[in-house]
Amino acid sequence: MRLTLLRIMIQSRRDFLNQLGLTAAGLSLASALPTPTFADMAAKKFSFDISLAEFSFAGELMSGKMTNMEFPARTKNDFGINVLEYVSMFFNNKHTDQAYLKELKQRTDDLGMKNNLIMVDGANIADLDAAKRQKAVESHYPWVDAAKYLGCSSIRVNLGDSAKALSGTPDDPADEAAKTAADGYHKLLEYAAKSKMDVIVENHFGNTTDIDWLVGVLKQVNMPNSGLLPDFGNFCAQRSKPETNDIKGIMGTKCVKEFDRYEGVKKMMPYAKGISAKTHKFDASGNETETDFRKMFKIIKDAGFKGYVGVEYEGVSSVCITQPVDIYPPTMVSAQQKPCSNASGLSLLKT
C-alpha cells in the first residue's frame, strides 16, 4: 500500500472530526462526548467543507515531479477533496497566459472541482515607499483577474515584506506600517470589487502575526470584500536568521517571538472568510503536536463559521529545487539546490 503523510493527515483529521461529530456533510456535534469541555458544543450545528492547499505538495512541485496543472487531479484522485487553494509561485508566471488558464479551468471543470482561492505571495502592498506600494498593488491586479476567470471567490495577499520575514529581519515600525498597509490594501480591494472578488489577508509573518494590528488594518479599510484567513501555524512574529540563504536554511529557522495562536484565531474569526488548518507534525495517535485541534475547532464553531477549512501540510524535511520557481523574493530560492533526498514530508512514508 502506498501511503503519504498527507493522506494519513487527512484521514486523521477525518477521524478527529468524526469524534467531535464534525463532517463536511454538516452533521451536528456528537452529544455522547463524555468530557464537559465539548458538551456545550453539541447544541449547535457546525458545517464546513474541506479544501486542499497546494503548498501541501511543495516538495514535489519545487522538485519538478509535479506541476500546477496536475494539482486538481492529484487532489481529487489521491485524497477525494474537491475544492482547491492554489499558490501563486507554482503558476510560474503563467497567470496572465489565457491559454494556460483556460486549460487549467477545463481540467477542474471536467473533474467537477471548485477553484476557491489563490494564495498570492508578491510584492509588498504595505511598502512604506508610496511609489513602490502603488506598483505592488498594481502587480496584484492580474492575480485578481486570473482568480476571477478560474471561478475563485478570493485571493489571499500579504501585508508586509516577505524578504524581511525570510531573512529574520524585523518588520517595518508597526504604527507607520498600519497606515501604509491600509492604503495599499484598500486600493487593491477597490480594484477587486469591480470583479466582485474578495481579497483576504492571512496572519503570515511580521506585523500580521500581531492580530490586534491586523484587525486594526481591516477596520481601517472598512470594505465588504475584505477579510481574514486565520492560519493555525502562522503566529511567529520573528524568526532566527537562516544559516544559509536557501529553502533549507529558511525551514531550519526557529521562532523567537510568537503571538498566542488560540487567542489569535479567536480574534480573527469575526472577519474570517476561510480557515487554514496548518499542520507540521503528528504523534503516533495521529494528533498534531503543535496545535490542539479540538481547542481550535471549538473556537471556530463558537464563532459560527461556515465555509472552507483548508488542509495545509507543511511537514517539510528538506526541499530539492531542480528547476526555477516563481517565488517572491526570487533571490531566496535558486535552481539546482541540493541535496535532493526526501523532497518533502509528503514522500517520507511512501512504500
What are 182-193's pLDDT values in tens digits?
999 999 999 999
The larger pLDDT score, comparing residue 193 to residue 255, is at 193
What is the reported pLDDT for 78? 93
Q: Which position has the grid cell 502587480?
A: 139
Q: What is the mean pLDDT of residues 235-246?
A: 77
Q: Which of 28-37, 81-90, 264-273 has the lowest mean pLDDT?
A: 28-37
Q: Which residues pair with 309 in a beta bridge?
A: 50, 275
The strand ranges marked E within 184-225 are 198-202
pLDDT confidence tier of residue 140, bands split at 50, 70 and 90: very high
The larger pLDDT score, comparing residue 195 to residue 316, is at 195
Q: Which of 69-73, 118-122, 255-259 has the lowest mean pLDDT?
A: 255-259
Count Cα atoms within 13 angstroms, Cβ side, for 213.
25
pLDDT confidence tier of residue 95, bands split at 50, 70 and 90: very high
The larger pLDDT score, comparing residue 128 to residue 37, is at 128
In the three-class reduction of DSSP (H, G, I as helix; E, B as strand; rest coil), residue 269 is classed as helix
What is the reported pLDDT for 15? 52
Q: What is the mean pLDDT of residues 87-99?
A: 97
Q: What is the mean pLDDT of residues 79-90?
A: 96
Domain regions of the chain by residue span? 5-11+49-347
pLDDT above 70 coverage of the chain, percent = 75
- CA separation, residue 30 to residues 20, 180, 200, 302 (Å): 6, 46, 32, 15
What architecture is domain 5-11+49-347?
Alpha-Beta Barrel (3.20)
pTM for this prediction = 0.80
